[in-house]
Structure 1
């Protein structure tokens, strides 16, 4: 059984079509520096995405799964302030991204980085870089003693 997908009602199309001109008209009636005017301008600036969301009921408006994945990185963002210099910060960001990608792929980051560095040292061809991505990494099976 397939999950139900929300679709806008056919009779909602005229309401959605009339919303943009109505919002534009409201901008001339309210103070331009008000929070409401700022919110309306934001909505109008993102209108194509809003319409896409309303037209396609399969799109998720909730970003919690993504936010939960990046939260550990966001919590350590302050550590990057102490990277020493711009190159150090770039290296920290690259490594943090790599570790997060490994975790999302269910891969031990230390094993992956060690195996990838070993493959590069052993002459892995640049044309096969896709084979070295975390989601393609095959973890070694544990040795039975």
Structure 2
């Protein structure tokens, strides 16, 4: 597999100071599913969900079933989303969102406490699929 897209970002998550500790933790655990895929990642306004669709279409791949894993490890909430990219029913790539959120806020902003999510987004595609796409549409000729 070759990594065709790789981006790491830090994203602030604001939660009201009025929310109790359990409500804050539940919100942090839900954040990757509710907002993680819709964070704008580039100047064109694309989010990861849109980028995955674009890469899949460019390489003739279909999106497989999303697999979520959210767990708490010590003082950190970890979430991972994997979307297999398929061609003819076979996995030929994967799109991944890997999130780490500390349970301790990094600061305050107005009436909110602010947590910082460390998020890595990446897309990997099989080398054979990449090679096929670079030669498709090329006109052959001999001299």
Bucket of the pairwise TM-score, normalised by the shorter protein: under 0.3
TM-score for the superposition, normalised by structure 1: 0.23
Q: Quick one: higher RCO (CA 8 Å, sep 6+), 1 or 2?
A: 2
- The structure with more strand, counted as a fraction of residues: 2
TM-score for the superposition, normalised by structure 2: 0.23
- The structure with more helix, counted as a fraction of residues: 1
